[in-house]
Amino acid sequence: MKNILRPLLVIFVAMTVITGIAYPIVVTAVAHAAFPSQSNGSLIEKNGKLVGSELMGQQFDAPSYFWGRLSATSPMPYNPQSSGGSNLGPTNPALADEVKGRLSALHDADPTNTAPVPVDLVTSSGSGLDPEISPAAAAFQIDRVAKARKLSHNDVDALVQRFTSGRQFGIFGESRVNVLKLNLALDDLKPAS
């Protein structure tokens, strides 16, 4: 029995040190050296103050800002500790109520906009933390934001174009607009009043 337990214990300790201590330290060090921003959460600072991460959505509901996707997290929107979708199916009345509420909020913020509302403005993402919207969702909001900030449609549209990212490697995913980065650029152009 002693002949069996000793090698097993040595292998257990060795593998624990290699896979539980050494490997994570090496991978973390390489990540910090090769990808310093990404390994620290892709954080965004403005004037030396942390304002968010480009990987996580934030709540914007003032007419002078672009709005992101709805968040299904609770007890508060964009709560990373309860990331996950709502699991509401298309026939669930709660989903219909959520969509009606967002449609109403969009209409109240811009009553003259009669364009079709892009689906990503009235539904939540799978994670509930999505930081991006489609270019169509951004375009839908340009007039509202331009009016609220007293900017021209073309100035705001140019910002949207600047912050529109194409497909990953030209083939994966869809074009998208990071809402936090766009709203920070808007504040740089003309602060909200």
Write out pLDDT tens, residues 75-87: 777 777 777 666 7
**Diameter of the chain by CA atoms?**
83
Q: Average pLDDT in the 112-135 region?
A: 87
- Report the pLDDT value the prediction gives residue 141, as an integer from 0 to 100: 95
| Mean confidence (pLDDT) of the chain | 88
Flag whether pLDDT at 191 surpasses 80: no
155 C-beta neighbours (distance < 10 Å), count? 14
Cβ neighbors of 66 (< 8 A, separation 6 or more) are 60, 133, 138, 141, 145, 177, 179, 182, 183, 186
Which residues are paired to 178 by β-bridges? 132
Q: Average pLDDT in the 134-161 region?
A: 94
Give the pLDDT confidence of 17-61 residue by residue, as tens digits: 999 999 999 999 999 899 888 888 888 888 888 888 888 888 888
Q: What is the 3-state secondary structure of the chain? A: CHHHHHHHHHHHHHHHHHHHHHHHHHHHHHHHHHCHHHHCCCEEEECCEEEEECCCCCCCCCCCCCCCCECCCCCCCCCHHHCCCCCCCCCCHHHHHHHHHHHHHHHHHCCCCCCCCCHHHCCECCCCCCCEECHHHHHHHHHHHHHHHCCCHHHHHHHHHHCEECCECCCECCCEEEHHHHHHHHHHHCCCC
Q: Average pLDDT in the 142-160 region?
A: 93
